Amino acid sequence: RIKKEMEDLEFDEVFIDPLGNVIGKIGKGSTVIAYDGHIDVVDVDVSAWDTPPFEAKIIDEKIYGRGSCDQKGGVASLVYSGRILKELGLEDDFTFYFVGSVMEEDSDGLPWLYILKEDKIKPEIVVLTEPTNLKIARGHRGRMEIGVKTHGLSAHGSAPERGVNAIYKMARLIFEIEKLNNRLKYDEFLGKGTVAVTDVRSKSPSLCAIPYECSIHLDRRLTQGEDKELALAEIKAFVKDEDTEVFVHMYERPSYTGLVYPMEKYYPTWTISNDHPAVKGAVDGFKGLFGKDPIVDKWVFSTNGVAIKGLMGVDCIGFGPGNEVYAHAPNEFVPIDDLVKAMEFYAAFPLNYKKYKEGI
């Protein structure tokens, strides 16, 4: 449907890449700007909803449905902003890419890692349309998914002294990991780094046997000044046994097209400064459109910016319809007025950005 909509709006080029990203193009100018919104959604408990989650329902000027806020609303706004940009006649000065990206919910950044490396699209700035409640976002914490695995020796449960209990070994590590939270870095803008044990599993021949293996999954949120090497070293410092493993998980699930594009589940922290031309241009554009000063802030959650800026060094800025508190929640919704304002913002952004970029 997104591809057809772009075609009906007379985009210059529309295609679906091998990973499944829907990409529209307008213009042939030297200033290359991309707009991104992911089109995949999280699962849903239908019983928790007051409306059918997979049918858009308009109630009190709000659109209810799974993904309305996170983040099909942003996708709708970016697609229709393309038509406005085309009517403004900016094709000679700008090249615009409009992306409906896939697999973001499973491995944020993966679709753009593919776009930048394999599709060879090279924007100088990417506008992320994840929900910001119409605030301007200039970064967020990174994250990584760490695995820890302890090994023991199985024995009959009636004689535990004959074995080595892998769960007991892991329990000591978990206690140290919990205390680690008190020592993690703090950043004035992004906040504090965190670590949480989110899954524990063990292996044994039966429930009457000593576990010979125990694994935990760590959700590590990275603030400014924290990276993969630091986070792994912090966990390894607690390890007393040579056979205990500490590693970063890999994402290797296929896209709906069948393509597997492996990615390490390390998603770096990223920010841009308040003095960046994109931030200054976004602030000016917001003031011109809405007659008031915007709030410049950050996301609490993670976005495709972890790959675009964090891994590949391409600058990003964010502005999106909807309030992030409703993302992934029952009765998720996006206000229709937010969709209109976001569309206007995306259309106004290029000229304001270019003004500050070129120092006009």
Return the ∠ at Cα 311 (arms to 76 and 34), rounded to 5°: 30
Assess contact for 221 and 149: CB atoms under 8 A. Answer: no
End-to-end CA distance of the chain: 40
Q: Which run of H or E residues covers position 24?
A: strand 22-27
Give residue 120's identity as a one-letter amino acid code: K
Q: Which two tokens stand for residue 136?
A: 């301007």
Nearest CA among 184, 103, 79 for reference residue 142: 184
Q: Residue 217 and residue 196: Cα distance in Å, rounded?
A: 8
DSSP letter string, 258-302: S-B--EESEE--EE--TTSHHHHHHHHHHHHHHSSPPPEEEESS-
The helix-helix angle for 336-357 and 73-87 (nearest 10°) equals 50
Assess contact for 214 and 202: CB atoms under 8 A. Answer: yes
**Sign of CA pseudo-dihedral 249, 252, 255, 259:** positive
Give residue 282's identity as a one-letter amino acid code: A
DSSP letter string, 335-358: EHHHHHHHHHHHHHHHHHHHHHHT
Cβ contacts of residue 258 below 8 Å, gap of 6+?
Answer: none
Q: Which residue matches tokens 């806020």?
A: 69
Q: Residue 173 and residue 162: Cα distance in Å, rounded?
A: 22
The catalytic residue positions are: 40, 104
Residue 360, exposed/middle/buried by CB under 10 A (0-12, 13-18, 19+)? exposed
